[in-house]
Structure 1
Amino acid sequence: MATDRRTLLADAALGVLADQGIRGLTHRAVDRAAALPDGTTSAYYRTRAALLTALVRRLVELDQQELESTAARVAPPRTAAELADGLARLAHGRLTGEGRRRSLARYACVLESVRDPELREILTPRENTGRDAVRHFLAAHRVGDVEGRALTLLAGFDGLVLDGLVRGEQALRRDALEGLVAAALRP
């Protein structure tokens, strides 16, 4: 039961962070969001740092699950248009519904990680299905410096998602995604 309770609390903490920001992330707020008695969160995560670390680990886990689920349903991109389509679907998912809430929490955690090496280590991009798909796509198109271009493309994508969160989903234009892909493919 402890693992299930820890997951429930991490999920509730994600929601609190998305809805109230970093200042709103308290043990008591997580207890309320999880509909548990006061003191439950602090019994599992004694400090705010422990709570934030658990939240970040859960966030990364959910992101990985999302990418793996998408990869299982969608064929790898073969053309620039297919890659731009995939990025557009991913961006839409990160700007709406639960994806939006996770994105808001993710960016708050990224800013916290500037001062917290443990959080930064957890959040540092690792191997994942999305990154692999971009690398394979670029390699199939015989692009030089596949790793560097993949990282640049994904950083640009991340910036567009952040801009979409700030200015509204309509700010994320298809031609911007196509431009990222075209830039990554340039000789």
Structure 2
Amino acid sequence: MTSDRRTLLADTAIDVLADAGLRGLTHRAVDAAAHLPTGTTSAYFRTREALLAALVRRLVELDQAELQAAGEQLPTPRSERELAERLAEFIAARTTGAARRRSLARFACAVESTRHPELREILTPRQNAARAAVEAFLAERGTVDPAGRTVTLLACVDGLVFDRLVNGGEVPRAAVRTLVAAALGSATEPA
């Protein structure tokens, strides 16, 4: 039950953060949003920092599970266009529905991690099947430093997620195609 309650509180904290921002993330706000008695959240997470760390761990857990499943369900892209389309779909998915709320919370936590290195460590990008598929695609085409270019490409995709969250609008598919082409670069020229 303790583990279930901690998960419920972390999930609720993600929603509170997405709705109210970092200033609105309080133990009382999480208690209210979870429809639990006042003091429940602080009984599980004594400090705000502990609550924030639990929230970030849960974000990473949810994101990793989603990315692992996506990478396992889809084979390595067959073409540059297919990779660009998958990345555009990823951007669209991360900016709508429940994933939008997680994206808003993630970016707020990323900014907060500049002041709290322990959060930065939790947020460090991890290997998963989706990342491996992008890296395999680049490697199969003879791209110099496919691991490094994968990191750069996915950082740019993350920037487009941020831009869509802030500015709204359609996913700029042409921009995504340009990013994929840039990541491929010349197989014989160093980046």
| Same fold, TM-score > 0.5, yes or no | yes
Q: Runs in 1 of length 4+ with deviation above 3 angstroms? A: none
2:150 matched to which residue of 1?
150
Alpha-carbon offset, residue 179 of structure 1: 0.6
1:176 matched to which residue of 2?
175
1:46 matched to which residue of 2?
46
Residues 110 and 123, structure 1, Cα contact 8 Å, conserved in 2: yes
1:127 aligns to what SS in structure 2? coil
| Structure 2 gap segments, 5+ residues each | 187-191
What aligned pairs does 1:22-41 form with structure 2 within 5 A after superposition? 22-41=22-41
| Structure 1 gap segments, 5+ residues each | none
Bigger Cα displacement from structure 2, 17-26 vs 146-155? 146-155
2:89 matched to which residue of 1?
89
Residues 95 and 169, structure 1, Cα contact 8 Å, conserved in 2: no
Residues 72 and 130, structure 2, Cα contact 8 Å, conserved in 1: no
What aligned pairs does 1:88-127 form with structure 2 within 5 A after superposition? 88-127=88-127
Over the aligned positions, Cα root-mean-square deviation in angstroms equals 0.9
Alpha-carbon offset, residue 74 of structure 1: 2.0
Residues 92 and 169, structure 1, Cα contact 8 Å, conserved in 2: no
Relative to the length of structure 2, the TM-score reads: 0.95
**What amino acid sits opposite 2:184 in the alignment?**
L
What aligned pairs does 1:129-140 form with structure 2 within 5 A after superposition? 129-140=129-140
1:21 aligns to what SS in structure 2? helix
Alpha-carbon offset, residue 62 of structure 1: 0.2
Bigger Cα displacement from structure 2, 174-183 vs 66-75? 66-75
2:85 aligns to what SS in structure 1? helix
Bigger Cα displacement from structure 2, 138-147 vs 1-10? 138-147
Alpha-carbon offset, residue 169 of structure 1: 3.4
Q: Aligned partners of 2:99 and 2:21: how far apart in 1? A: 16
Q: Aligned partners of 1:12 and 1:6: how far apart in 2? A: 10
Residues 91 and 161, structure 1, Cα contact 8 Å, conserved in 2: yes
1:169 aligns to what SS in structure 2? coil
Number of residue pairs aligned between Structure 1 and Structure 2? 186
Residues 80 and 181, structure 2, Cα contact 8 Å, conserved in 1: yes
Identity among equivalent positions (%) equals 62
**What amino acid sits opposite 1:96 in the alignment?**
T
Alpha-carbon offset, residue 16 of structure 1: 0.3
Q: Aligned partners of 2:177 and 2:44: how far apart in 1? A: 45
Q: Aligned partners of 1:182 and 1:176: how far apart in 2? A: 10
Q: Aligned partners of 1:44 and 1:19: how far apart in 2? A: 22
